[in-house]
Amino acid sequence: MPIEKQRPRELRSVTISQVTDHGTMYITIGYKLKGYPFEVFIAMGNAGDHERAWIEALSRAITTGIRHGVPASVYIDQLRGITCQPVPDGRGNLVRSPADGLARVLAEFCETTRAEKPEAKKESS
């Protein structure tokens, strides 16, 4: 998959809600080309200003990485299992934190779309 840094004018997206110990989190994944994630937006229903700023920072960091060829699986592996105050999600799963919930949603999205992992950008010598 070619690395694309510029956002196209139009992009398909899906928004998935995820229960967390901090309230319901809404994750919007913009995608193109065979379901490859292109951008991620996160909103937390009950977030205060401090939490909202961290959530926006995480969204931007993930989006920047994905646009530069970092596979979503890297973020999934790093965020999965981070624990704060675990809560059941109503589907038989235990969501350990908002970060863990985000990892679960990204993994579910990639499995559902069967998105292949894009090649990471290789450094030239």
- What is the torsion angle, in degrees rounded to the nearest 10, for the CA atoms of residue 14, residue 15, residue 18 and residue 21? 140
Q: How many domains does the chain have?
A: 1
Q: Is residue 62 part of a domain?
A: yes
Tens-digit pLDDT profile for residues 45-72: 777 788 889 999 999 999 999 999 999 9
Q: What is the DSSP string of 9-63?
A: S--EEEEEEEEETTEEEEEEEEEETTTEEEEEEEEETT--HHHHHHHHHHHHHHH
Q: Is residue 93 part of a domain?
A: yes
Q: What is the pLDDT of residue 51?
A: 86
Q: Is residue 22 part of a domain?
A: yes
pLDDT over 70 percentage in the chain: 87
Q: Is residue 65 part of a domain?
A: yes
Q: Is residue 6 part of a domain?
A: no
Q: Which amino acid appears at position 102 of this protein?
A: L
Q: Is residue 5 part of a domain?
A: no
Give 63's contacts (C-beta < 8 A, 6+ positions apart).
38, 39, 40
Q: What is the pLDDT of residue 34?
A: 77
Check whether 118 has a pLDDT greater than 90: no
Residue 84 DSSP symbol:
S
Q: How confident is the model at residue 2 (pLDDT cuts 50, 70, 90)?
A: low
Residue range(s) defining the domain that contains residue 64? 12-113
Mean pLDDT of 92-114: 91
92 in Cβ contact with 3 (< 8 Å): no
Strand partners, 26: 17, 43
Task: Tell me the two tokens of residue 89.
Answer: 């999600």
Q: Is residue 39 part of a domain?
A: yes
Q: Is residue 2 part of a domain?
A: no
pTM: 0.81
Q: How confident is the model at residue 115 (pLDDT cuts 50, 70, 90)?
A: low
114 or 69: which carries more pLDDT confidence? 69
Task: Tell me the two tokens of residue 17.
Answer: 């809600």
